Amino acid sequence: MNHIKVDLKELKEFQKQLLDIENEMPEVCEMLAKEIAGRLLALIVNKTPVDTGVLRRGWSIGTIIKKGDNYIIEISNDVYYAKYVEYGHRIPEHTGWVEGKFMMTISEKEIKDKIPVLLQSSIQKYLLNKLR
């Protein structure tokens, strides 16, 4: 009877690498969420009008909150008139209307279109580095 000898050392090492990747997924997802939030913040800041610069400097990124499979990061602006610049407002004495700039609304739409490509690229780089 013929016996075949198989060395499973490399397969076991690959299995270990896959388990390591699985265990690191929460940190990877958090890193990706921070990257996307940072890119969104940059888009918002670039679209924010610069009268005195106060409004631009008012943008901030909150902490990450994980709810189920979702990672949530709040981007906010504590400058009291930020919402009026975003959505528009009446002119004093109700003599007209100032259109909103929609810097956050437009930026959010822009980043949503880019997220699949950003995620794919970042995950590919991560996997290539881990599996070397």
Q: Which range marks the domain in which residue 85 is found?
A: 9-130
- Looking at the structure of the chain, the number of domains it has is 1
2 within a domain of the structure (yes/no): no
- In this structure, is residue 75 part of a structural domain? yes
54 in a structural domain: yes
Mean of the per-residue pLDDT values of the chain: 89
CA-CA distance, 33 to 75, in Å (whole number)? 12
Residue 125 in domain: yes
Residue 101 maps to a domain: yes
pTM of the model: 0.80
Half-sphere CA count of 85, side-chain side, radius 13 A: 19
Instruction: Tell me the per-residue pLDDT of 12-59, one tens digit each, with 9 for 90 and over.
Output: 887 887 887 787 888 888 989 999 999 999 999 999 998 878 999 999
